[in-house]
Amino acid sequence: MNTTAPSLELHALEKLREEELEEARAIQSVVLPAESLRAGAVTISHEFQPVAAVGGDFLDYFQLTDGSVGLYLGDVSGKGPANGCRNLKLCGIPPGLFAAANYETLTLRLLAGDSVLFCTDGISDAFNRKEEQFGIERLQEICAAPQFAAPTELLGQVFAAVENFSRGQEQQDDMAAALFHFCS
């Protein structure tokens, strides 16, 4: 009986799986922004923490030719703090699935110093060892704290708070967030 052949097949499958994961990580790193975007009075920063080697959440932001900015976040659960921290609760059909789809819109008036936090539900749905969820209320408390010097500071506070809350508990969902900050 030849036991070498099954061993070689298993090794080849493991190698193929690792190559596919590496390719997926490379694709994901290209999709994620390399750095914050500064466009006039707007700064957009992000943080991303996949739950596995390759995450399912995605985000990007960019400046358009007319000077406006675009931002998208996949697996989004539309949360947003401006003055008073409130949940925007936007949701809908993912763009591009249906040509005739209608989308809900929301207009916010931002004042100098205001920010909007867009994040996936992996942040609010993070849990601790007691199986309690981090929740929207904790997220709103962080966002209602005194102003931060830079958008990256608020993002750092959010991710640090989730980490502290979960205290090493293994999470079940990716966490992605983008912070849109209006300077003046």
Within this chain, do residues 51 and 73 fall inside the same structural domain, yes or no? Answer: yes
Tokens of 52: 């596995």
Which letter, b or e, does each residue of 68-80 get, where b requires 16 or more Cβ atoms within 10 Å of its Cβ? eeebebbbbbbbb
Q: Kindly tell me the sign of the dihedral angle through the C-alpha atoms of 75, 171, 53, 81.
A: positive
- pLDDT tens digit sequence for 32-61: 888 889 998 999 999 888 877 667 788 889
pLDDT in tens, 136-180: 999 988 888 776 667 778 899 999 999 999 997 888 888 999 999
The amino acid occupying position 171 is Q
2 and 76 in one domain? no
Instruction: Give the pLDDT confidence score for residue 148 in this predicted structure.
Output: 64
pLDDT score at 33: 86
Q: What angle do CA 116, 60, 54 make, to 5 degrees?
A: 115
Same domain assignment for residues 56 and 129: yes
pLDDT digits 0-9 by tens, 5-32: 677 788 788 888 788 777 776 776 667 8
Asked if 67 and 116 sit in the same domain, the reply is: yes
CA distances 66 to 62, 95, 106, 108, Å, are: 12, 22, 21, 20
How far is the C-alpha of 163 from the C-alpha of 98, rounded, in Å?
38
The answer to whether the CB of 29 falls within 8 A of the CB of 165 is no
54 shares a domain with 111 = yes
pLDDT at position 135 is 93
Contacts 24+ apart (CB under 8 A), 97-106: none
Per-residue model confidence (pLDDT) at position 132:
93
Burial of 44 per CB tally in 10 Å (0-12, 13-18, 19+): buried
Q: Are residues 24 and 54 in the same domain?
A: no
Same domain for 22 and 80: no
Q: Are residues 141 and 53 in the same domain?
A: yes
Domain count, the chain: 2
Do 53 and 125 lie in one domain? The reply is yes
Among the ranges given (76-80, 92-96, 108-112), the one the predictor scored with the smallest mean pLDDT? 76-80
Over residues 83-95, the mean pLDDT reads 61
Provide the residue range defining the domain that includes 7.
1-31
Q: For residue 132, give the CATH number of its domain.
A: 3.60.40.10
pTM (two decimals): 0.74
- Are 11 and 77 found together in one domain? no
pLDDT 10s digits, 95-138: 667 788 777 777 888 888 888 888 888 999 999 999 999 999 99
Q: Residues 68, 27: one domain?
A: no
Residues 3 and 75 in one domain: no
